[in-house]
Structure formats: C-alpha cells, structure tokens
Amino acid sequence: MKTASPEARAHSLLTGLVLIWAVSWPVTKVGVSAMPPLWFACLRYVVATACCFGVVALRGELRRPARGDWPLVAVSGVLQMGAYSALTATALTQLAPGRASVLAFSTPLWVVPLSAWWLKERLTRRKVAGVGAGLVGVLVIASPGLAHASRDQLLPYALLLCAAAAWAISIVYVRVHRFQTPTLALAPWQMLVALLLLFPLAILLERRWPILTPRAVAALTFVGPIATAFAYWAAIEVGRSVRATTMSMVLLAVPSLGLLLLAVTLHESMSLSVTLGLVLVAAGIVATRATVEPPQLPVHTLVHAK
C-alpha cells in the first residue's frame, strides 16, 4: 500500500481540523447552554485527557516527555488549550457564540508579526494581501455585534482577542520548537496541563458543581474525544510542517464554516455582512496557501540517521 506523502498527510489533517472544529461550534453552543461554560471547558479536558492517556497507553507509547519538550508541553497546554478555553468560555457567559466568537480565531492578527520577527518568515505582497482580506472578513462578520456592544460587553470582546493571541503564540512556538518526543506521546501531558489550569478556575469562578444533563453529556461526547483530544494533537502535528501564517489563515475557515452550520442546524440568519465576510475569508485563505515543509524530526531520529 502506498504511503501518503507528508504534504498530503498535513493537508488532510488540516482539512479535518477545520471540519471538526466547525462542527464543534454548534455542538459547543449546546454544551454551554446546558451547563456553566467554565465547567464545560474543564470537563471537555477531563474526557480528552482520559482518551489521550488511554490511546497512547494502548499503543505502548506512554512515556514522560523529554526534558527539552516540557517547554512545549507548558506553552501549548497553558496557552493553546487551557487559556484559550478559559478565555472563550468566560467571554461566552456574556456573548452569544455566534459572530463575536469569530474574533477568537483572529490569530493572523498576532501570528503575522510574530512569524516575521521570531521565525523570519518572508511576507510577500500576496500573503500580506491575503491576511488583510481575511482579517477584514473577520471584522465584517463581527462588526454588527461590535457596533451595538454595551460597555459591559467590551471586556468579553477583549477576552476573545486575548484568546486569539494566546493561541497565536503557541502556533509560532510549535514551528520553532525542536521535538525530542513524538507528538502523540506529548498530547496527554498537554491535555493534563490544561485540565490542571481549568479545574481550579471552574471551582473559583463558578463554584457550584455542574449538573450533567443529557444535552451536556451528548455535547461532551463529541467535543471531548474528537474536537479536543484528536483535534489538538492534529493541530500540533500540522503546526510542525505548515507555516504559522498559513495555518492561522486556514483556521479562519473554522468560524466561517461554523456560522454556515449554525444557519443550517439552528436556523440562524445569514446576513449580507456574514456572506461578504465569508467571501473575504475564503479569498484570504487562497492567497496565503503555501507548500508544506518537512516537519522537525525528533532528536533521537536525527542521531540514528547520522
């Protein structure tokens, strides 16, 4: 059987990420309406951590991360997973998870300057134009909510932008990190770090224990193992071989496709601003597409190859 090329594998994983996280949009909306948002974020990592440890153990690959990989575990576990989930969940206590949540995927706003400075990525005119089109699309989609935002809603909007910044730092860090442990073996430890961050926050801020209604359990059944355990492993794996700018732009398709799914499944309206925003995001993704680069090999693989 012919093995898929690294480029085809990375593109397949990235496409799967967009589809899974887009589907998780309406599912998460059901979940946070059935239980307090921070508890939902916490419990999704309870499920994801258990799934990751179980899968890795069954494959015989369970091990402690190498010393050099602990910074990656901390950065991705705290920023990409824990902080992102906590900030977005807190924002959604005051905002509907629709247009405004598109701001949580505005990672190119932060990834572009970080990549140029930290990774020395060359920003062509076409790429700059693509990023600009995508970000304008995000603003067009979110603008009606921003225009009518009350003073009490300014903080939630700021939290969404902070969530995007936290994720952007993790995306860029993955590109610069030299892996010593396989990505799959790192995944359960990253999930555990996120869980250890979210659990005390849920107790402190929401206090009462959540009631697991059938709707909440159904949402967690999808979001925990698939949209968290699998998807975040895939995000780290793809991030090793796809340019940070390109990856952040492709992920802009998540809320865009999510809005389309909300329109179909929950009958939310598709206004002119949403349609125009989706077109701009799609144009930006096409303009910033790039070839996949070879992933960073683990150190032990490099040693054996010599």
pLDDT tens digits for range 164-175? 899 989 999 998
298 has a pLDDT exceeding 80: no
Instruction: Tell me the pLDDT tens digit for each residue of 120-133.
Output: 777 778 778 878 88
Residue 243 is assigned to a structural domain of this protein: yes
The separation between CA 96 and the C-alpha centre of its own chain, rounded to angstroms, equals 19
Residue 41 is assigned to a structural domain of this protein: yes
Mean pLDDT of the region 93-104: 68
Residue 152 is assigned to a structural domain of this protein: yes
Q: Is 139 within 8 Å of 106 (Cβ atoms)?
A: no
Q: Is 115 within 8 Å of 228 (Cβ atoms)?
A: no
Distance CA 222, CA 11 (A): 23
Mean pLDDT of the region 86-110: 74
Residue 249 is assigned to a structural domain of this protein: yes
Residue 1 is assigned to a structural domain of this protein: no
Residue 173 is assigned to a structural domain of this protein: yes
Supply the range of the domain harboring residue 39.
Answer: 6-300
Q: Is 55 within 8 Å of 222 (Cβ atoms)?
A: no
Distance CA 236, CA 7 (A): 15
Residue 306 is assigned to a structural domain of this protein: no
Work out the pLDDT band at 103, boundaries 50, 70, 90. confident
Residue 305 is assigned to a structural domain of this protein: no
**pLDDT score of 292:** 41
Instruction: Tell me the pLDDT tens digit for each residue of 14-62.
Output: 889 989 988 887 788 788 888 888 899 999 999 999 999 999 999 999 9
Of 118, 161, 170, 119, residue with least CA distance to 290? 119
Instruction: Tell me the pLDDT tens digit for each residue of 57-81.
Output: 999 999 999 999 999 999 999 999 9
**pLDDT score of 270:** 64
300 has a pLDDT exceeding 50: no
C-beta contacts of 237-241 below 8 A and 24+ residues apart = 237/10, 237/13, 237/183, 237/295, 238/10, 238/13, 238/14, 238/17, 239/171, 239/174, 239/175, 240/174, 240/175, 240/179, 240/183, 240/295, 240/296, 241/6, 241/10, 241/292, 241/293, 241/294, 241/295
**pLDDT score of 297:** 43
Domain count for the chain: 1
The separation between CA 248 and the C-alpha centre of its own chain, rounded to angstroms, equals 9
Mean pLDDT of the region 147-175: 82
